[in-house]
């Protein structure tokens, strides 16, 4: 093994906290429990996903080979949080089954040899690597970790031997004709992650090749476009949001390894452009299918009413935002994670319907038979104007037994699994608290002693957050609190003494901590939000936000979401609101009564609770007609 280049180790402004142990309550705990019991504990599902690599071919050049690794990544993150031993037992068994499908040359693919390195093959191989890598991080068994490590290296060695610019190799951009090969190029991330554990020159050389050549589409590198910052991503030659963001996750890892400032600039330019041009009110991107399309401007457009706001895009934007938060130290990315989680992500959870079995074990499908309908754990798409949930299963693929699954359902667990990792980060001199959840976080101070942050709150449904900072012994260090960008009126006390809050972003408190209590009050007024200046139908629609939560109309409340919802607001755009009974939607987490401009009142609920009958009975909207 050779290792000519070392990771710079100085790339990130904020650092992950490997010692932190989170135990949260409230909506996050309920979300994790639902995902565990209705997806990750499904042994039959894990078996199906792993067997697809044995039951070749994927005759339609499909992407179902992504399912195993995509769900394994999320499952590993959930296990890191829960330490559920039954979950680990299932993951361990599935990993053994997966690596047991490897051919003698190391190849693990859902494609037969004659069709390999086409379509989505490289994308699926990427997810094999990612799934094995994230399992390895949680595996406490040295012998199994070595077995997994060997399987990963042989798997990647096969790819490196066949793909590249050498004689007899397949150029990376020719391994897929789909989305200008961005799906293949996204393998950059796990290649660099494996380089970290091996130091193999061949892996870093392959990463160099991907950045230099592989990210080119129609002769133009998307990385170079981001570095030059001459156009927004919806003007790129390839605009498939999920795949392009996945490529930039790899570019962040490449910068961490090489220290080349050009690529840090490119990644941060890309993230800023996404925030400016693509992120919608619910924290997703793409109002035309799953494509970058200037969604911030198009989110109030009425010319297209098809599928939009894909859950895969939501989770990938959350993951990229965490990378960019670490890289830049800019709390705007923590705001983005919270916005996505509280609205688009929680809205995608199908907690109201329990997934059913697609087919009895001994029932044989007819050759042309469609599978029996099945509710998956996550919805794939989310409406912004009046529409319904459950429009389509994103990434729909049939299994050999004629049951089906989808890409958005597979990626969903990663969205929840990311929250504990984003909640607390570190600097060299202290702790950075990004997300407020009821519960506690146990970690280490800069001096190395144990410290617990205890949080009492019903956030995000209420704005009062009580934080007790309890080190084993008094110690002086810094605690950075995120003041969300939307909180225009914030108050804070420490040990009963007022602390000035002069702006949003990070508020740094440096003192000797010995059990003090922080009382944080965030601005939970209902605020009117207009579309961005110049947006489609700018004068026709408004939305309403309470803290991080977008409010929505739902037909079950007795008012058509297509009708006018004119809320009376003051000069600051603030509407008086009071809690309202909501017997029509007993599972709504937040229901508010607001004054109507024409007199009387109207009710809105939190967006995540809206639309949960998956039909016209609960047509819902977050952008509401004002005239």
The three-state secondary structure class of 152 is helix
Mean pLDDT over residues 150-163, rounded? 98
Burial of 481 (0-12, 13-18, 19+ CB in 10 A): buried
Confidence of residue 217 (pLDDT cuts 50, 70, 90): low
- Residue 575: inside a domain: yes
Residue 224 lies in a domain: no
Tens-digit pLDDT profile for residues 7-18: 444 479 999 999
Residue 187 has pLDDT above 90, yes or no: yes
Residue 212 · residue 165 · CB < 8 Å: no
User: In the prediction, which pLDDT does 188 show?
Assistant: 97
Domain boundary among 117, 142, 162: 162
Distances (CA, A) of 521 to 113, 166, 459, 462: 60, 61, 10, 9
* Of 182, 412, 389, the residue nearest 316 (C-alpha): 412
Paired tokens of 418: 């990311």
What is the Cα–Cα distance from 134 to 155, expressed in whole angstroms? Answer: 15
365 has pLDDT over 50 = no
Diameter of the chain measured on Cα atoms? 76
Q: Domain for residue 180, yes or no?
A: no
Q: CB under 8 Å to 37, separation ≥6 — which residues? A: none
Is residue 190 assigned to a domain? no
Percent of the chain with pLDDT over 70: 93
Residue 367 confidence class, pLDDT cut points 50, 70, 90 = very low
Each residue's pLDDT tens digit, 475-507: 999 999 999 999 999 999 999 999 999 999 999
Place of tokens 């996050």: 28
Residue that is last in its domain, among 112, 136, 162: 162
d(CA 622, CA 627): 15
How far apart CA 262 and CA 10 sit, in angstroms, is: 15
Q: Look up residue 428 and give its two tokens.
A: 């060299």
With cut-offs at 50, 70 and 90, classify the pLDDT of residue 213. Answer: confident
Query: Nearest 10 degrees: CA dihedral of 337, 338, 343, 349?
Result: 70
Extended strands (E) in 112-256: 216-217, 220-221
Per-residue pLDDT averaged across 386-396, rounded? 92
Q: Is residue 289 part of a domain?
A: no
Confidence of residue 61 (pLDDT cuts 50, 70, 90): low
Band (pLDDT 50/70/90 cuts) for residue 54 is: confident
Alpha helices in 285-329 (DSSP H): 295-298, 311-328
Q: Which has more confidence, 102 or 52?
A: 102
20 within domain boundaries: no
pLDDT of residue 353: 66
Does residue 567 sit within a domain? yes
pLDDT digits (tens, 9 = 90+) for 271-289: 999 999 999 999 999 999 9
DSSP codes joined into one string, 579-597: E---TTSTT-S-EEEEEBT
The mean per-residue pLDDT over the stretch 413-436 comes to 97
The pLDDT value recorded for residue 231 is 96
DSSP-assigned letter for residue 214:
I
Q: Helix and strand tally (H, E) in the chain?
A: 17, 25
With a CB cutoff of 8 Å and minimum separation 6, the contacts of 502 are none
Q: Is residue 542 part of a domain?
A: yes
Number of residues in the chain:
627
Work out the average pLDDT over 585-591.
Answer: 96
- Find out whether 153 and 216 touch, Cβ atoms under 8 Å: no
Report the pLDDT averaged over residues 99-122.
94
Residue 466 phi/psi, 5° resolution? -105, 120
pTM of the model: 0.95
Range of the domain at 155: 41-162
Give me the pLDDT at residue 3, please. Answer: 43
Residue 398, pLDDT score: 82
For residue 219, the model assigns a pLDDT of: 77
Return the H-helix or E-strand segment holding 574.
strand 574-575
The pLDDT tens digits of the residues spanning 599-620 come to: 999 999 999 999 999 899 999 9
Give yes or no for residue 57 having a pLDDT over 80: no
Q: Which pLDDT score, from 0 to 100, does residue 362 have?
A: 34
Average per-residue pLDDT for the chain: 92
Going by pLDDT thresholds of 50, 70 and 90, the confidence category of residue 368 is very low
Domain end marker among 162, 192, 214: 162
Percentage of the chain lying above the pLDDT 90 cut: 87
Q: What is the pLDDT of residues 295-334, one digit of tens each?
A: 999 999 999 989 999 999 999 999 999 999 999 999 999 9
Burial of 537 (0-12, 13-18, 19+ CB in 10 A): middle
- Token pair of 220 as six digits: 């133009």
* Domain total in the chain: 2
C-alpha span between 476 and 511 (Å, rounded): 5
Using pLDDT thresholds of 50, 70 and 90, give the confidence band for residue 177. confident
**Residue 423 or residue 366, greater confidence:** 423
């Amino acid at each position: 093994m050779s290792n000519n280049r070392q990771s710079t180790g100085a790339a990130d402004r904020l650092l992950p906290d490997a010692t932190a142990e989170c135990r949260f309550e409230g909506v996050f705990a309920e979300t994790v429990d639902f995902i565990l019991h209705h997806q990750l504990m499904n042994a039959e599902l894990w078996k199906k996903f792993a067997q697809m690599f044995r039951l070749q071919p994927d005759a339609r050049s499909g992407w179902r080979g992504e399912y195993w690794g995509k769900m394994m990544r999320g499952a590993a993150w959930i296990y890191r949080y829960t330490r559920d031993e039954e979950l680990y037992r299932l993951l361990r068994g599935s990993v053994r089954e997966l690596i047991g499908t490897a051919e003698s040359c190391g190849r693990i693919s859902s494609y037969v040899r004659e069709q390999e390195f086409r379509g989505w093959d490289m994308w699926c191989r990427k997810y094999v690597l990612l799934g094995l890598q994230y399992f390895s991080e949680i595996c406490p068994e040295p012998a199994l970790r070595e077995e997994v490590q060997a399987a990963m290296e042989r798997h990647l060695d096969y790819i490196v031997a066949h793909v590249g610019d050498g004689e007899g190799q397949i150029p990376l951009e020719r391994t897929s004709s789909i989305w200008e090969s961005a799906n293949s190029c996204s393998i950059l991330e796990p290649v660099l992650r494996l380089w970290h554990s091996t130091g193999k020159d061949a892996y870093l050389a392959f990463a160099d090749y991907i950045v230099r050549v592989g990210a080119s589409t129609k002769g133009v590198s998307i990385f170079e476009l981001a570095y030059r910052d001459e156009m927004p991503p919806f003007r790129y030659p390839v605009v498939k949001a999920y795949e392009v963001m996945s490529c930039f996750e790899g570019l962040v890892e490449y910068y961490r390894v090489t220290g080349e400032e050009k690529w840090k600039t490119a990644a941060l330019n890309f993230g800023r452009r996404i925030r400016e041009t693509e992120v919608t009110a619910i924290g997703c991107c793409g109002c035309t299918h799953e494509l970058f399309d200037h969604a911030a401007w198009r989110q109030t457009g009425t010319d297209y009413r098809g599928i939009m706001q894909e859950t895969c895009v939501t989770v990938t934007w959350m993951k990229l935002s965490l990378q960019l938060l670490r890289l830049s130290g800019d709390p705007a990315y923590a705001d983005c994670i919270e916005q996505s989680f509280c609205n688009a992500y929680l809205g995608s959870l199908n907690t109201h319907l329990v997934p059913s079995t697609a087919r009895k074990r001994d029932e044989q499908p007819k050759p042309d038979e469609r599978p029996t309908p099945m509710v998956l754990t996550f919805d794939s798409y989310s409406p912004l104007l009046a529409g319904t949930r459950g429009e389509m299963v994103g990434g729909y693929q049939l299994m050999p037994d004629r049951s089906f699954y989808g890409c958005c359902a597979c990626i969903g667990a990663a969205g929840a699994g990311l929250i504990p990792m984003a909640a607390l980060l570190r600097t060299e001199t202290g702790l950075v608290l990004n997300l407020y959840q009821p519960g506690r976080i146990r970690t280490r101070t800069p001096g190395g002693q144990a410290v617990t942050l205890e949080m009492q709150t019903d956030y995000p449904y209420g704005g009062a957050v009580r934080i007790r900072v309890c080190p084993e012994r008094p110690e002086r260090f810094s605690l950075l609190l995120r003041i969300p960008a939307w909180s225009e009126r914030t108050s804070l006390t420490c040990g009963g003494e007022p602390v000035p809050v002069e702006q949003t972003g990070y508020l740094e408190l440096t003192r000797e901590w010995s059990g003090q209590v922080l009382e944080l009050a965030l601005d939970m007024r209902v605020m009117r939000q207009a579309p961005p200046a110049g947006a489609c139908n700018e004068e026709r629609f408004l939305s309403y936000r309470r803290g991080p939560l977008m409010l929505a109309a739902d037909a079950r409340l007795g008012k058509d979401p297509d009708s006018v919802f004119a809320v009376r607001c003051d000069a600051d755009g603030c509407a008086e609101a009071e809690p309202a009974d909501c017997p029509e939607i007993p599972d709504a987490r937040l229901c508010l009564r607001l004054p109507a401009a024409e007199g009387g009142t109207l009710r809105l609920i939190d967006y995540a609770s809206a639309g949960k009958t998956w039909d016209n009975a609960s047509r819902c909207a977050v952008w509401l007609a004002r005239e």
